[in-house]
Amino acid sequence: MARQPDEPAAAEIDRDVCKLVHRFAQRLDVHVRHVADELGITATQVVALRELSDPITARELATRMVCEPSNVTYVLDRLEGQGMIERRPHPTDRRAKQLVLTPAGRGYRADVLARLNAHSPLAPLSPAQQESLRELLQALIA
C-alpha cells in the first residue's frame, strides 16, 4: 500500500486504515455467520443474543446492534418464538417492554459467546493487545 508521490502521509494512512477496518469487519461478519450456521440460527440472532446480557428495551438493543429499532422486531419475534426471550413490562416506562432472556435463552447465549470466543478473529492478539485495540478504536470514534 505505497503512497503516491502527490499523496500526503495522512491521506495514505487514512486510506490504509479504512481498507484494514473494512477487511477486519468482513472477517468478523464471516465468523458470526459461521457461528450462526453451527447453531442453526441467523447471524442477526447471534448478534442479538451476544448483546442481550441484561434486560433492555428493543430500542437499546437496536443501538447496541447499530440498526434501526424497526429492524430488530423480526429478530425478537423469532427469538421469542424459539423460547429464548420474553417481552415484559418495563418497570418505569409503561410504553416500553423489556427484553429478558429465558433460562433456555441464557443457555443459548452462553453457547453463542463460547463459540464466538473459540475462533475469534481477535485471537492472534494478546489480551493486552486486544484491550489496546479497543482503546484506540474508542479514541477514534470519541
CATH numbers and ranges of domains, the chain = 10-141 (1.10.10.10)
State percent of the chain over pLDDT 90: 77
pLDDT per residue over 98-108, tens digit each?
999 999 999 99
- In this model, does residue 1 exceed pLDDT 80? no
| Pairwise pLDDT comparison (122 vs 4), residue with the higher score | 122
CA 31 to chain centre: 11
At 62, the pLDDT band (50, 70, 90 cuts) reads: very high
State percent of the chain over pLDDT 70: 95
At 5, the pLDDT band (50, 70, 90 cuts) reads: low
33: Cβ–Cβ under 8 A, 6 or more apart, which residues? 43
Average pLDDT, integer, range 129-137:
94
Alpha helices in the chain (DSSP H): 9-39, 43-51, 58-65, 69-81, 103-118, 127-141
- Cα separation of 85 and 52, whole Å? 9
In this prediction, residue 35 carries a pLDDT of 96
Q: Which three cell numbers stand for residue 58?
A: 428493543
In this prediction, residue 8 carries a pLDDT of 73
In this prediction, residue 3 carries a pLDDT of 53
Average pLDDT, integer, range 43-68:
94
Q: Which residue has the cell 443457555?
A: 107
| Pairwise pLDDT comparison (94 vs 85), residue with the higher score | 85
